[in-house]
Structure 1
Amino acid sequence: MPITQEASRYPQMADSVANSLAVPLLADIPPWAEVLLGLGVLLAISVLANFLIKTIIWRFVARILPGESRTPVRIIARLVNIIPAVILSRGIAAVPHIPEVVVTVSRNVVGAFIVLTIALAISGALNYANELYQKRPEAANLPIKGYLQVLKILVFAAAAILMIAALMEQSPLLLLSGLGAMAAVLMLVFKDTILSLVASVQLTSNDMLRVGDWIEMPQLNADGDVIDIALHTVKVQNWDKTITSIPTHRLIDQSYKNWRGMSESGGRRIMRSLLIDQNSIRFLGNEEQADLRRLALIDDYLDRKQNELDQWNRRLITVGHDSINARRVTNIGTFRAYVIAYLHAHPSISRNMTLLVRQLEPTPKGLPLQIYCFTNTTVWKEYEGIQSDIFDHLLAILPQFDLRIFQEPSGLDLRGLSGAAEERVAATAQ
């Protein structure tokens, strides 16, 4: 046989030997093992790809993105989960001996997972947008959290429809066509959401409520600062550090008091009354008036009042009226003038806002002498200190005008009266 013919036989012999050895080896592996082996390889490739891409993102993309927040990195990392899902969806068909129904179900589930991942990434992006917006100066006046929550609801509603369509292998339009019959049910389910959305728009557009406002809503036991305005609820941190959650639509349906105007005005009102014992009110004699001139704040008042009364009384005498009709200085009027002068001189009382000292209608508990003025600070602690200092002084100086505060008798007063009566009886008996 020629050498060339002999040499051409060697490759054919090698192929036949390899085939004869390979057939027994492959025949020894059962089909289920091939399926598991293929799935294991496919899963390993997916995990490795996911790991490598996330590592690259954490090492490089995180350094490029500005700010200290890692939210953008987490959003991108969530989107990276789509890559192993796509590898599984495309590679599942290459696994030997795997049933076609498993391939179809796997692809449908992966499709639904991709839709869910994208929806979660969009939700994270909206949260990040709110995080950035809150750093702007106008965020306290115009919060957008409620609007972003509405967008989230729409995103997840669309995601739910697409996921169901992917699992059922149906067109999303077919599912949407059936929503018309469910409109009444949806209106019932999302009733509070719709009401809250309308209320949130009204609160924001009319600037009725801001984060940081102090509001009072007694019917819901809310009295404190607004710490969060969301779509469904407004959170109020009360002064006892408890938190009250108010449904947003209740702030439109019911009344509440917002103290923002007071805070922005720079002054807080003092409106409190001293209850004067009416039995202590009388005219002042000349000697008593002279004695009160020791109080420098009412020197001008006494001079001005005396001139006014002298002119009035001279007219009465000229026309021949009795002196009983003459006007005289009273201790309550002098005390009222002293309080006005004292408030005008007080460094913590605003001179640009209303300042009144007036008598209210007499009551069985005395004559209310109301002090109505504004402090030049809105800080709660300072305000209470100023108010207390003013009334400390007024209560202490009241006896200088021979006036008394009305106070209902206590047990000690009644016991003193009883003891005095017993002493009188004993003295009479003697």
Structure 2
Amino acid sequence: MKIEHILYDYLIETGVSEATAGYLNAAALLIGLLILALLLDVVIKRIIIGVFARFAGKTRTNFDDLLIQNNVPRNVAHIVPLLLVLEFIPQVLVDFPYVENLIEKGLQVFGIILTLWIVRSILGTFKDYFKTLPRFNDKPIDSYIQVFMIFAWIIGTLSAFAIITGIEFIKFVTTIGTASAIIILVFRDTILGFVASIQVSVNDMVRIGDWVTFEKYGADGDVIEINLSTVKVQNFDLTITTIPTYALISDSFKNWRGMQNSGGRRIKRALSIKLDSISYLTSNEVDKLKEIELISSYLESRQADINSFNENNEINKAALINGRNLTNIGVFRKYMQTYIENHSGVNKDMMIMVRQLPPGAHGIPIEMYAFSSDKRWKNYEYIMADIFDHLIAAVPYFNLELYELPSNSSFKGLISEPTSK
């Protein structure tokens, strides 16, 4: 007596028709096979997970722990029951070849899906593991994982279609080759993102944690995620801006990493001086400015050099324009330079410069160029404000005026109030 007909023969002996006996025999064997497969799945799952758990507890690396967290043992445990069902389904449905063929194809497709689950779990484990390594913290691991999974899903989908249609895999792939243009169009952003992520990684253009400014997309903050198709930036107002990955190589953006890795953050700001407030300094005015401690020694030596030059060359000083002279804007520029060089918030090892820019319709700019020693945004703004608070308040001491557009207060006193009749 064949095992696949054990119930069939018994039903025939009890007087059941052949057709009914065949159906009942196949149904009973199929249910029994499924129950056996489920029991085997549970047992193997517990065994594999238990072995992995004990092994993970004895090792120092967290890779095996991540395998468990990503359900790798659980997914692997499904392989044996699937192979069992594939092995015995021909015997169970020996009298129903059409149904057997359909179920076998379904099980083969499920095998492909299970393989993809296992591959995804393993790749997820590698992703989590690499993120625990310091040298991979700033690398777009998510992008690489997504690329591998896309290729895996494409191959799996093509294999499933080949099984369902009964066409060999190679012939099926060759057949859809004519549709490659459509595939490229559909996956355009994915392909561009993949190429961009490789270039970004190879050229080290952006890392997770970098401060970037992307004016086109309104992004100004820290990169928190780099995927195959998008880059997420958390702005300083805590909003999230999503940027296409390929925009990093097609558009211009600013990465502040160089500043953060340097010894300071640049301060580059100017004060605009009114042109008509600039003048030569008389001896009395120079003597008065000597009361300012930061430039008193400079004025002493500088005035002595100028007087010596004018006397040796018999310069007529009845007019200040003759010979060499000190100007209030020149002395103020020297004061700015000295003040910045002595400020505790400025990095003395980096460039410190005060320069005069070309005069224009808004006066003549005196620009400060230096680097704050503290690069944190809040402290940087405080240092810069502290410096310019002082410099703005110091401008009147040199008989200079800051340029500003006229306001209502500028015309007070110029307009006479109407007299009552």
Regarding TM over 0.5, the answer is yes
2:243 matches 1:267: no
2:417 to 415, 418, 422: 422
- Matched with 1:213 is 210
Show CA shifts across 1:103-125 (max 9, x none): 11111111111111112211221
2:232 to 230, 235, 239: 235
Q: Which range is displaced more, 211-220 or 280-289?
A: 280-289
- Matched with 1:23 is 13
In the alignment, the residues of structure 2 paired with residue 96 and residue 78 of structure 1 have an alpha-carbon distance, to the nearest angstrom, of 27
Higher normalized helix content (fraction of residues) = 1
- Matched with 2:308 is 311
2:40 matches 1:49: yes
Q: CA deviation at 1:20?
A: 11
Contact 2:63 2:129 in 1 (8 A): no
In the alignment, the residues of structure 2 paired with residue 262 and residue 20 of structure 1 have an alpha-carbon distance, to the nearest angstrom, of 86
1:91 maps to a residue whose letter is F
- Matched with 2:4 is none
In the alignment, the residues of structure 1 paired with residue 197 and residue 14 of structure 2 have an alpha-carbon distance, to the nearest angstrom, of 74
1:23 maps to a residue whose letter is E
1:244 maps to a residue whose letter is T
The answer for unaligned runs of 5 or more in structure 1 is: 1-18
Q: CA deviation at 1:316?
A: 3.3
2:340 matches 1:343: yes
Q: How does 1:24-173 map onto structure 2 within 5 Å? A: 24=14, 30-31=20-21, 32-65=23-56, 66-67=61-62, 70-73=65-68, 74-95=71-92, 99-173=96-170
Contact 1:298 1:337 in 2 (8 A): yes
Q: CA deviation at 1:150?
A: 2.1
Give % identity. 34
- Matched with 1:174 is 171
1:403 to 393, 400, 410: 400
Question: Would the alpha carbon gap of residues 389 and 203 (structure 1) be closer, same or farther in structure 2, given more than 3 Å must change?
Answer: same
Query: Radius of gyration: which is bigger?
Result: 1
Q: How does 1:261-410 map onto structure 2 within 5 Å? A: 261-317=258-314, 323-324=319-320, 325-410=322-407
2:157 maps to a residue whose letter is A
Show CA shifts across 1:41-82 (max 9, x none): 222212111111222233331231242875412012112222
In the alignment, the residues of structure 1 paired with residue 186 and residue 18 of structure 2 have an alpha-carbon distance, to the nearest angstrom, of 60
The answer for unaligned runs of 5 or more in structure 2 is: 1-8
In the alignment, the residues of structure 1 paired with residue 16 and residue 212 of structure 2 have an alpha-carbon distance, to the nearest angstrom, of 79
Q: CA deviation at 1:27?
A: 7.4
Q: CA deviation at 1:354?
A: 1.7
2:13 maps to a residue whose letter is V
1:309 maps to a residue whose letter is I
Contact 1:34 1:97 in 2 (8 A): no
- Three-state SS of the structure 2 residue aligned to 1:63 is helix
In the alignment, the residues of structure 1 paired with residue 10 and residue 377 of structure 2 have an alpha-carbon distance, to the nearest angstrom, of 95
- Matched with 1:258 is 255
2:366 maps to a residue whose letter is L
Show CA shifts across 1:239-285 (max 9, x none): 22222222222211111111111111121111111122233222333
1:58 maps to a residue whose letter is I
- Three-state SS of the structure 1 residue aligned to 2:314 is helix
Question: Would the alpha carbon gap of residues 61 and 321 (structure 1) be closer, same or farther in structure 2, given more than 3 Å must change?
Answer: closer
Contact 1:71 1:128 in 2 (8 A): yes
Q: CA deviation at 1:369?
A: 1.4
Corresponding pairs, count: 405
In the alignment, the residues of structure 2 paired with residue 106 and residue 20 of structure 1 have an alpha-carbon distance, to the nearest angstrom, of 26
In the alignment, the residues of structure 1 paired with residue 93 and residue 398 of structure 2 have an alpha-carbon distance, to the nearest angstrom, of 108
2:112 maps to a residue whose letter is V
1:50 maps to a residue whose letter is D
- Three-state SS of the structure 1 residue aligned to 2:403 is coil
Question: Would the alpha carbon gap of residues 153 and 273 (structure 1) be closer, same or farther in structure 2, given more than 3 Å must change?
Answer: same
1:24 maps to a residue whose letter is T
Q: CA deviation at 1:291?
A: 2.7
In the alignment, the residues of structure 2 paired with residue 396 and residue 299 of structure 1 have an alpha-carbon distance, to the nearest angstrom, of 19
In the alignment, the residues of structure 2 paired with residue 200 and residue 67 of structure 1 have an alpha-carbon distance, to the nearest angstrom, of 28
Q: CA deviation at 1:356?
A: 1.4
In the alignment, the residues of structure 2 paired with residue 260 and residue 290 of structure 1 have an alpha-carbon distance, to the nearest angstrom, of 48
In the alignment, the residues of structure 1 paired with residue 74 and residue 94 of structure 2 have an alpha-carbon distance, to the nearest angstrom, of 34
Contact 2:143 2:194 in 1 (8 A): yes
Show CA shifts across 1:135-185 (max 9, x none): 222214544433332222221111112222222333212212213322222
Question: Would the alpha carbon gap of residues 243 and 20 (structure 1) be closer, same or farther in structure 2, given more than 3 Å must change?
Answer: closer
User: TM-score with structure 1 length normalisation?
Assistant: 0.85
Contact 2:346 2:372 in 1 (8 A): yes
Q: CA deviation at 1:345?
A: 0.5
User: TM-score with structure 2 length normalisation?
Assistant: 0.87
In the alignment, the residues of structure 2 paired with residue 314 and residue 203 of structure 1 have an alpha-carbon distance, to the nearest angstrom, of 67
1:153 maps to a residue whose letter is I
In the alignment, the residues of structure 1 paired with residue 29 and residue 198 of structure 2 have an alpha-carbon distance, to the nearest angstrom, of 55
